[in-house]
């Protein structure tokens, strides 16, 4: 996992912290930012880095393992599997819609209207976007 991607868990996000972390790691794994065979940070270390409870990180890792993205072994840590499943087009569209709804809700809470939210997305440059890669299924 080089260079180390930035993970952010926000307290004012209505999404539970474990789910925020799981989603980010899921995206990084599926887009091969975290490559097959890479080891995820130890749970205690990541919990400390993000000011989370170890149980929160453990739950995110457990969810990733249930999705077939990582494999955990006591003493060996948690590693990305050799062939993580890619998203289908329908799954990608479902997740995109889910993220769009969450973004729009946040924008409205900030006092922006729908058009201002859309304009902000269109004006965001590639350098400002954390993960510019496109992940497609085979």
Cα 78 to Cα 74: distance, rounded to the nearest angstrom? 9
Query: pLDDT by residue (tens digit) across 5-54?
Result: 789 999 888 999 999 999 999 989 988 889 999 999 999 999 999 999 99
Residue 100 has pLDDT above 90, yes or no: no
* Cis, bond preceding 3 (omega within 30 deg of 0): yes
User: What does the domain layout of the chain look like in residue ranges?
Assistant: 17-80, 89-128
pLDDT for res 132? 45
pLDDT for res 133? 53
pLDDT confidence bin for 138, thresholds 50/70/90: very low
Kindly state the tokens that stand for 96. Answer: 């995109």
pLDDT for res 52? 97
pLDDT confidence bin for 2, thresholds 50/70/90: very low
Residue 78 has pLDDT above 50, yes or no: yes
- The answer to which of 65-69, 117-121, 128-132 has the lowest mean pLDDT is 128-132
Q: Are 40 and 79 in contact (CB under 8 A)?
A: yes
Q: Are 53 and 47 in contact (CB under 8 A)?
A: yes
pLDDT confidence bin for 95, thresholds 50/70/90: confident
Region label for 102, one of left (φ > 0), alpha (ψ between -120 and 50) or beta (otherwise): alpha
Mean pLDDT, residues 91-115? 87
Site of tokens 């890792």:
61
Kindly state the tokens that stand for 71. Answer: 């494999």
Average pLDDT over all residues of the chain: 85
For domain 17-80, the CATH class is mainly alpha
């Amino acid at each position: 996992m080089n260079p180390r991607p930035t993970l952010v868990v926000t307290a004012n996000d209505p999404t539970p912290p474990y789910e925020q972390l799981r989603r980010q790691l899921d995206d990084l794994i599926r887009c091969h930012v975290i490559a097959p065979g890479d080891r995820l940070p130890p749970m205690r270390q990541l919990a400390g880095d993000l000011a989370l409870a170890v149980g929160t990180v453990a739950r995110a890792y457990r969810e990733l393992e249930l999705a077939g993205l990582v494999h955990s072994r006591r003493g060996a840590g948690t590693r990305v599997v050799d062939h993580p499943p890619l998203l289908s087009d329908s799954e990608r569209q479902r997740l995109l819609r889910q993220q769009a709804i969450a973004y729009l809700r946040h924008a409205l809470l900030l006092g922006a209207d729908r058009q201002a939210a859309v304009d902000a997305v269109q004006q965001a440059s590639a350098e400002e976007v954390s993960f510019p890669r496109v992940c497609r299924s085979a």
